[in-house]
């Protein structure tokens, strides 16, 4: 399994489980993909990573840099 540098996930990308903002993309054969929020990626990620051909994890964006805290 590879970690990909595909196009960045945006605010319009939604979790396939709960419709929250997606931060993780799992890609499979034949161009299929699953998008998950951080909660569902954590819950199901271990099993899904075993069959995914690549994973794009942008959950680091959930942590604000100190200069971004208002």
pLDDT in tens, 35-58: 999 999 999 999 999 999 999 999
Long-range contacts of 17-25 (CB under 8 A, 24+ apart): 17/44, 23/57, 23/58, 23/59, 23/61, 23/62, 24/55, 24/56, 24/57, 24/58, 24/59, 25/55, 25/56
Tally of domains in the chain: 1
pTM over 0.95: no
Residue 25 domain-assigned (yes or no): yes
Is the pLDDT at 3 greater than 90, yes or no? Answer: no
Residue 14 domain-assigned (yes or no): no
pLDDT at 38: 96
- Give the structural domain span for 33: 20-64
């Amino acid at each position: 399994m590879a970690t990909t540098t595909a196009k960045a996930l945006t605010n319009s990308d939604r979790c396939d489980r709960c419709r929250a903002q997606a931060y993780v993309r799992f890609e499979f054969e034949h161009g299929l993909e699953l998008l998950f929020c951080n909660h569902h990626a954590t819950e199901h990620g271990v099993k899904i990573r075993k069959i995914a051909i690549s994973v794009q994890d942008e959950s680091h964006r959930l942590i604000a840099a100190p200069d971004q805290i208002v």
